[in-house]
Amino acid sequence: MQQMLEEVEQRFAELDRMLGDPEIIRDQKRLHKIAKEYADLRKIVDFYRKLKRLEAEIEENRHLLSEKDEEIKKLAREEISYLTQERERVEGEIKNSLIPKDPNDEKNILIEIRAGTGGDEAGLFASDMFRMYAKFAEMNGWKVDILSRNFTGVGGFKEIIALIEGDKVYSKLKFESGVHRVQRIPETESQGRIHTSAVTVAVLPEAEEIEVEIDPDDLRIDVFRSSGPGGQSVNTTDSAVRISHIPTGLVVTCQDEKSQHKNKAKAMKVLRAKLLDKFERDQQREISEKRRGLVGSGDRSERIRTYNFPQGRVTDHRISLTLYRLGEILEGHIQELISSLNAHYQAEALRGQQAERQPSS
């Protein structure tokens, strides 16, 4: 760890010099990247410098143990005891700081909820899921802005996409991506049989323009008349917008606003986030299977959670956590789930780092 910390301190000093370079200052994209790395390393460097000061003070007090004055030796032993405890605390902080940080943790998110298997019941549960996340956002003082939604005929959602803005939203909700399964008796079920349906959730970090450059020549933009629940027209002008990204085949549609300009802006926000997500997933495929296993794949095709209404329970299958508070959870009280998931994946990442540092036999 000592060698790693020395390398981090050297890199920090190098970044400090680069931030004063006029050529880099003129390149806003590069400056943004360097400033972010500098901020990420500052906490580790501060802890490392504190650790070195503590070690120097411990060594100074050890020299005092050879003094003849018993009072001085007693004070030195007390100081060594205190400084050693403080050193252990700082070492723990350093280990936590060295866990690879997700560069998207500070970002807002786009959350995309889609009805899966289960027909109308899946659409209704997609609506319940969106309400759950909206309630959680409200508890945290976050802002929710619906970008796109596609209704079913019974009041649910075939799909809904929303932007959630606030403090470190992605860090809280990034492990919600995946298949959420619901087991309950539909209102239309006369014989009381339990049906199983599924909803897919995708949590995408909001992409800034500086991160994803889109060539206008790569876009095909179509406009059409908006439609509401049941397919009826809700506008007399061609305000709905469909944007196709030709190189990747990604298509996004937005029709919630009456203004074509606003719909286009929202659709571009969704497209930018989906492109960033695609680029990052392509990069992840190049990482070793070992590394992916250590940090968790977050694959949204995995079944991650079951909501069982007859038993009033919610089970997260990734961490084998079951809570018998289904009603509270659907009202947005999901902090215990989120905290448990974050603690689990942080521990996995730390174990992975320790394993990587072990010399191979």
Q: Which residues 6+ apart lie within 8 Å of 194 measured at CB?
A: 183, 184, 185, 310
How confident is the model at residue 344, as a pLDDT?
A: 85
Indicate the number of domains in the chain: 3
Are 17 and 51 within one domain? yes
Torsion of CA 227, 233, 237, 240, to 10 degrees: 0
| Assigned domain for 103 exists | no
Are 234 and 116 within one domain? no
| Assigned domain for 153 exists | yes
Q: By residue range, what is the domain housing residue 224?
A: 216-283
How confident is the model at residue 55, as a pLDDT?
A: 94
Highest mean pLDDT among 76-85, 207-216, 283-292: 76-85
- Chain segment 348-359, per-residue pLDDT in tens: 776 665 555 444
The amino acid present at 190, given as its one-letter code, is S
Are 259 and 332 within one domain? no
Q: Is the pTM of this model over 0.85?
A: no
Q: What is the mean pLDDT of residues 208-222?
A: 80
Are 25 and 118 within one domain? no
CA-CA distance, 213 to 275, in Å (whole number)? 10
Is the model's pLDDT at 228 over the cut of 70? Answer: no
Torsion of CA 55, 56, 59, 61, to 10 degrees: -110
| Assigned domain for 358 exists | no
Give 101's Cβ-side CA count (13 Å radius): 18
Confidence of residue 361 (pLDDT cuts 50, 70, 90): very low
**Alpha helices, DSSP H only, in the chain?**
2-18, 22-26, 28-64, 70-97, 120-139, 169-173, 260-285, 289-295, 326-330, 335-357
CA-CA distance, 84 to 81, in Å (whole number)? 5
Is the model's pLDDT at 139 over the cut of 70? Answer: yes
**Between residues 263 and 98, the one the model is more confident about:** 263
CA-CA distance, 19 to 231, in Å (whole number)? 55
Are 127 and 261 within one domain? no
> What does the block give as tokens for 113?
């909820």
Neighbours of 296 (CB within 10 A): 16
Confidence of residue 287 (pLDDT cuts 50, 70, 90): very low
CA angle 126, 130, 136 (to 5 degrees): 145
Q: How far is CA 285 from the centre of its chain?
A: 18
| Assigned domain for 357 exists | no
| Assigned domain for 102 exists | no
How confident is the model at residue 288, as a pLDDT?
A: 42
How confident is the model at residue 272, as a pLDDT?
A: 87
CA-CA distance, 258 to 270, in Å (whole number)? 18
**Percentage of the chain modeled with pLDDT above 90:** 47
Are 26 and 85 within one domain? yes
How confident is the model at residue 133, as a pLDDT?
A: 98
How confident is the model at residue 104, as a pLDDT?
A: 85
Residue ending a domain, among 63, 97, 131, is 97
Confidence of residue 209 (pLDDT cuts 50, 70, 90): low
Residue ending a domain, among 241, 268, 283, is 283
> Are 329 and 132 within 8 A, CB to CB?
yes
Highest mean pLDDT among 129-138, 151-160, 343-352: 129-138
Q: What is the mean pLDDT of residues 260-284?
A: 84
Q: What is the CA radius of gyration of the chain?
A: 26
Residues in the chain: 361
- Chain segment 70-126, per-residue pLDDT in tens: 899 999 999 999 999 999 999 888 877 777 677 788 889 999 999 998 888 999 999
Are 236 and 262 within one domain? yes
Residue ending a domain, among 44, 70, 97, is 97
Highest mean pLDDT among 179-193, 208-222, 333-347: 333-347
Are 116 and 202 within one domain? yes
Confidence of residue 29 (pLDDT cuts 50, 70, 90): confident
Is the model's pLDDT at 26 over the cut of 80? Answer: yes
**Percentage of the chain modeled with pLDDT above 70:** 86
Are 196 and 123 within one domain? yes
Label residue 191 exposed, middle or buried (CB < 10 Å: 0-12, 13-18, 19+): exposed
Are 144 and 177 within one domain? yes
> What does the block give as tokens for 349?
């990442």
Nearest to 126 by CA among 154, 149, 157: 157
Are 319 and 185 within one domain? yes
Are 206 and 121 within one domain? yes
- Give the CATH number for residue 302: 3.30.70.1660
> What does the block give as tokens for 320?
């084998």
| Assigned domain for 63 exists | yes
- Give the CATH number for residue 254: 3.30.160.20
Ramachandran class of 231: left when φ > 0, alpha when ψ lies in -120 to 50, beta otherwise: left
| Assigned domain for 144 exists | yes
| Assigned domain for 47 exists | yes
Ramachandran class of 204: left when φ > 0, alpha when ψ lies in -120 to 50, beta otherwise: beta
Confidence of residue 259 (pLDDT cuts 50, 70, 90): confident
How confident is the model at residue 296, as a pLDDT?
A: 38
